Structure formats: C-alpha cells, structure tokens
Amino acid sequence: GAVVSQHPSWVICKSGTSVKIECRSLDFQATTMFWYRQFPKQSLMLMATSNEGSKATYEQGVEKDKFLINHASLTLSTLTVTSAHPEDSSFYICRTNARHTEAFFGQGTRLTVV
Amino acid sequence: AQKITQTQPGMFVQEKEAVTLDCTYDTSDPSYGLFWYKQPSSGEMIFLIYQGSYDQQNATEGRYSLNFQKARKSANLVISASQLGDSAMYFCAMREGRGTSYDKVIFGPGTSLSVIP
C-alpha cells in the first residue's frame, strides 16, 4: 500500500485562488518532506524542504510567499499555492526519506489554473 | 552545474530485448546513493533500484540491474526482456550524504522509453 498519501490527485482552480495540497505519511513519522514540481516532459525540480516544527527551506528561485509549506506534525505536510496563476499549472509531488535506500513519493497532484 | 546527466531523451526497444539507459553523475561526496525511478503517464514515481556508493556489487532487482562504474561516475540501468508495460519515463537520481532523513535527492532530465511490439 501507499506509504505517502497525497491529495488531491488533480485540481482545477480559478486564477487568483489558493490551492492546498496535502501529503500524509502512513505508518511512519516523516521528519522531512520534500516538495517537487514537474512541468510537462521535464524532470522533477526540488522546490523546498520542510522539517517538522520548523520553517521550510526553499530552493533558489522559488517564491516562499507564493508556495506556503507547513509541516506541523510528523505525519502531515501541506503545500499551499497562493494566488495561483496559469503559469503555476504543473504536477506537484511530495517525497520523504523513510529509509536511506529508497525515497517514498506521494501520488502527485496535477494542478490546472484557468 | 548539472549533477545528473541522461543523454538519451528518447529510446526505442523491441519487446523481449534488453535495453540500457545511460546515467552519469557528478559529486565530490564520497558517500552517496543512486536511484532509478519509472514514471508512467499516470505520474506516479515507481522505485526500481538503488545503488550505494560503497556497495561492492552491482544492484539487481528482477529484470532491472544497475551497471555501476564508480570511477567513470556512471550508473546505467539495464532492463532485460523488455515488456510493453515498460514504456514510460525513466529518471536517474542521486542522494548525496549518508542517507539521513533530510538528504536531498536530485533528478536527471529523464529518458522516455518506448517498447515496440
């Protein structure tokens, strides 16, 4: 079964609205969650790293005020895309290191902003 | 600087044949891990195989094997007996460090594999 549960799997929203994406770790404690974005036919680009109980660390070029990350508990991390615009349409996916030989991904969220 | 290079944007292979997907990497950290993931059109990331920098033998998982050449910094994926269901994007990825929970994993640009009946 899924180790990391990500919801929603797809979402369509109007330009200017905010969208929240959740990643829940199942049966283990995820102290760190990584958030990636993937544009069509491109690779996964790391956006930010969140650690439980502390502020997220954002990669260069990623707007922290636009992509709000919260990791309030060991089983839940959320990414909120604020004031979404069409250029934010992408595939967003979370990942956690449950053990060093494997990285567990959520199922991903396809965001379309219209 | 690009840390993971996959020089084959697209590959074709005949069903039941073997195929090699190339991956080279760049790191100065003596401790690192290399992964291969499969991403079908649904978007999910499917873990295939892992190779640690200190592992003496090449990793194998069923039809997947990793040709690890440390001195050349290459970690090619070999898929034997290709199946139609193997058609997908394949990503090589690297984790620098000893594998703590906060180690980043970065991904290569990917290779699109198409299996021909």
pLDDT at A87 over 60: yes
Q: How far apart are CA A48 and CA A5, in angstroms?
A: 18
Tell me the three state secondary structure of residue B84. Answer: helix
pLDDT at B1 over 70: no
Q: What is the mean pLDDT of residues B54-81?
A: 96
pLDDT at A35: 96
State the pLDDT confidence band at A100, using cuts at 50, 70 and 90: low
How close is the nearest chain B Cα to the Cα of A81, in Å?
A: 20
pLDDT at B20: 98
Mutate to test the interface with B, among A43, A74, A77, A107 (most CBs of B within 10 A): A43
B15-18 long-range contacts (CB < 8 A, ≥24 apart) are B15/B82, B15/B83, B15/B84, B15/B115, B15/B116, B15/B117, B16/B81, B16/B82, B16/B83, B17/B81, B17/B82, B18/B78, B18/B79, B18/B80, B18/B81, B18/B82
Q: How far apart are CA A34 and CA B105, in angstroms?
A: 9
**Backbone torsion region of residue A16, taken as left when φ is above 0, otherwise alpha when ψ lies between -120 and 50, otherwise beta:** left
Q: What are phi and psi of B92, to 5 degrees?
A: -90, 140
Q: What are phi and psi of B85, to 5 degrees?
A: -70, -5
Q: What is the mean pLDDT of residues B26-45?
A: 92
pLDDT at A9: 96
pLDDT at B104: 82
Contact B101 A32 (CB under 8 A): yes
Q: pLDDT exceeding 70 applies to what percent of chain B? A: 94
pLDDT at A64: 92
Q: What is the mean pLDDT of residues B70-77?
A: 97
What type of residue is B77? L
Task: Report the b/e string of B89-104 with b at 16+ CB within 10 A.
Answer: bbbbbbbbeebebebb
Q: pLDDT exceeding 70 applies to what percent of chain A? A: 95
How close is the nearest chain B Cα to the Cα of A109, in Å?
A: 9
Q: pLDDT exceeding 90 applies to what percent of chain B? A: 83
Q: What is the mean pLDDT of residues B83-106?
A: 86
Spell out where A3-75 has E strands: 4-7, 10-13, 19-25, 32-38, 45-51, 57-58, 67-73
**Average pLDDT, rounded, for chain B:** 93
State the pLDDT confidence band at B100, using cuts at 50, 70 and 90: low
B3 alpha carbon, distance to own chain's centre: 14
**B99 to each of B80, B103, B106, how far by Cα in Å?**
29, 6, 13
Summarised one tens digit per residue, pLDDT across range A23-59 is: 998 877 778 899 999 999 899 999 999 888 888 999 9
Tell me the three state secondary structure of residue A114. Answer: coil
pLDDT at A21 over 80: yes
Higher pLDDT, A72 or A92: A92
pLDDT at B102 over 90: no
How close is the nearest chain A Cα to the Cα of B43, in Å?
A: 7
Q: Chain B contact for A103, CB < 8 A?
A: yes
User: Which of B99, B109, B84, B82 has the alpha carbon at shortest distance from B25?
Assistant: B109
pLDDT at A16: 97
